């Protein structure tokens, strides 16, 4: 009997692990319209958005972790209004104290400097968002843009990012699209999400 109960508990833990990532990733996402779809690649028109941005230098994975921590400090209350900005669960959401954040977290290289961005909710403005106390955090308004985007699951390591970036750029070249930016990496899930349930993207701005 005890052995059976143990297996039931183990099974419940496994199921919880499988479901937890997708559940906590079910947050508001950056708004876009799909213009064309080619298997895992889409052409999208993104609406204007507000982002919280931090610039960090160094190796990519370390840079995104550092940038994440800087902006997380802002959204967890290090701002002029001492307001909390919730990204995903398990942070408890209280409307009177928090502003829900959206997915994805974005990362883009500019030389040896990486820009890490959190997209803010569609109903916020530069005037309504709390001012960061840390000058490393910048709130910016980004105009609407068109992107070619490739979506994939799994762990977004250097090899995977490189392969998917090359596939996307081959598509852009074959379709004779005019690329306007360096690749941007977008990550939608918390780090404990199982690899096959993760959503990762590489995005390249293209001429409309």
CATH number of the domain residue 30 falls in: 3.20.80.10
Q: Which residue has the tokens 């379709």?
A: 175
The predicted model gives 26-30 an average pLDDT of 72
Bridge partners of 37, per DSSP, are: 42
Q: Which of 55-59, 99-103, 177-181, 201-205 has the lowest mean pLDDT?
A: 99-103
Confidence of residue 102 (pLDDT cuts 50, 70, 90): low
Q: Is the confidence at residue 9, as pLDDT, over 70?
A: no
In the chain, how many domains are there?
1
Q: Is the confidence at residue 17, as pLDDT, over 90?
A: no
* pLDDT of amino acid 88: 33
Domain that holds residue 99: 2-206
Model's pTM, two decimal places?
Answer: 0.80
The predicted model gives 31-60 an average pLDDT of 93
* Eight-class DSSP state of 48: P
| Residue among 201, 27, 202 at smallest CA distance from 120 | 27
CA distance 7 to 187: 34
Of residues 196 and 44, the one with the higher pLDDT is: 44
Q: pLDDT tens digits for 150-187?
A: 999 999 899 999 999 999 999 999 999 999 988 999 88
| Residue among 115, 88, 91, 82 at smallest CA distance from 101 | 88
* pLDDT of amino acid 15: 41
Q: Which residue has the tokens 């500019």?
A: 110
């Amino acid at each position: 009997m005890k052995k059976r109960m143990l297996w039931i508990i183990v099974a419940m833990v496994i199921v919880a692990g499988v479901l937890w990532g997708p559940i906590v990733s079910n947050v508001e996402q950056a708004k876009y319209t799909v213009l064309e779809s080619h298997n895992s690649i889409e052409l999208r028109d993104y609406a204007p958005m507000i982002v919280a941005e931090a610039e960090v230098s160094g190796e990519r994975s370390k840079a995104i972790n550092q940038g994440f921590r800087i902006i997380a400090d802002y959204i967890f209350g290090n701002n002029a209004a001492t307001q909390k900005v919730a990204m995903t669960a398990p942070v408890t959401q209280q409307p009177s104290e928090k502003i829900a954040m959206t997915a994805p977290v974005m990362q883009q290289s500019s030389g040896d400097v990486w820009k890490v961005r959190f997209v803010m909710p569609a109903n916020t403005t530069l005037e309504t968002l709390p001012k960061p106390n840390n000058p490393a955090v910048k709130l910016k308004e980004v105009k609407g843009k068109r992107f070619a985007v490739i979506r994939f699951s799994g762990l977004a390591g250097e090899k995977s990012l490189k392969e998917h970036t090359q596939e996307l750029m081959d598509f852009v070249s074959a379709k004779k699209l005019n690329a306007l930016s360096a690749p941007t990496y977008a990550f939608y899930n918390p780090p404990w999400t199982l690899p096959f349930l993760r959503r990762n993207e590489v995005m390249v701005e293209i001429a409309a």
